[in-house]
Amino acid sequence: MRQVLLYDPTRVPREWMRLIRPGQYAVFLTDVESSAPLTADGLPVNSESEYFCLLFDSLADAESYCQDQVAKIRRLRCEVFDSAGRTNPPVSVLVNDEFAHTLDSEAKGQRLVRWGFVAIAVSVPLLWYAWRNDAGVVWWPVLVSINLVFAGLRLIQWGHGLKEEIRYRKKEAAMRLRGNTGR
C-alpha cells in the first residue's frame, strides 16, 4: 500500500494517474453519509492539497484493507477503482454493515420492483370502489389509483434499471480486470 496525494506540485509527474500502473487499484476514503474525504484514521481532510488515495498492487489487498478499515471506523466508505481511476465506476465499494443498506444492490432493485407491483395492486380495489359508488361523485379513489399506477410503473422501471446498472458495472469491472491481468 502506498499513500499518494492527488495533487502534489513538487512531484514529477504531477498527476497521480501517471503513478498508477495497470493491475493496481486506487482506494478513496470518504464519509459514508456526506461523501467528504477522510484520512486513513477517519478524520476529515482539512484542505484539498491533503486529499489522497491509496494504491494497492492487487484487488485482494485493497479489499482486505478496506474491510479492516470499515470495521474499525464505522462511518468510512472505501471506493476501490482500477488503474483507469475515477474514469469508470468503482470496482467495489465497502462500508460498515450498519450502512450496507445505502449501497445499490440487486436486492434493493428487486424491492423497488416489488413495491411497484404492490402500488399497482392497491390501485385495483380503489378503481373497483369508485366504479361501484358512481365515479362522478366519488372521484378521489380514481385520482389516487391513477397516481398509484404511475408511481408503481416508475418504481418497476427504477428497480429494473438499478439491477441492470449493477450487472453492467460488474461485467465492465470483470472485463477491465481481465484486461489488466493480461498485460
Instruction: Give the CA-trace dihedral at 177, 65, 24, 40, to 10 degrees.
Output: 130
Average pLDDT for residues 59-80, to the nearest whole number?
A: 91
Instruction: Report the pLDDT value the prediction gives residue 89, as an integer from 0 to 100.
Output: 82
What average pLDDT does the structure give for the chain?
86
pLDDT digits (tens, 9 = 90+) for 138-178: 888 889 999 999 999 999 999 999 899 888 877 877 777 67
Residues 78 and 151 in one domain: no
Residues 56 and 115 in one domain: no
Residues 75 and 148 in one domain: no
Last residue of a domain, one of 74, 102, 130: 102
pLDDT tier at 43, thresholds 50, 70, 90: confident
Among 28, 31, 36, 30, CA closest to 6:
28
Query: What is the percentage of the chain residues whose pLDDT exceeds 90?
Result: 34
For residue 123, is pLDDT > 90? yes
Residues 111 and 67 in one domain: no
Residues 152 and 91 in one domain: no
Asked if 165 and 104 touch (Cβ cutoff 8 Å), the reply is yes
The domain tally of the chain equals 2
Residues 91 and 121 in one domain: no
Asked if 162 and 104 touch (Cβ cutoff 8 Å), the reply is yes
16-20, 122-126, 146-150: the lowest-pLDDT one: 16-20
Q: Read off the pTM.
A: 0.68
Q: Domain of 160?
A: 106-181
For residue 101, is pLDDT > 70? yes
Residues 119 and 77 in one domain: no
More confident residue, 146 or 47: 146
Residues 83 and 144 in one domain: no
Residues 144 and 159 in one domain: yes
Signed CA dihedral, 39, 41, 42, 44: sign only: negative
Residues 62 and 142 in one domain: no
Instruction: Report the pLDDT value the prediction gives residue 106, as an integer from 0 to 100.
Output: 81
**What are the b/e assignments for 102-122, b being 16+ CB within 10 Å?**
eeeeeeebeebbebbeebbee
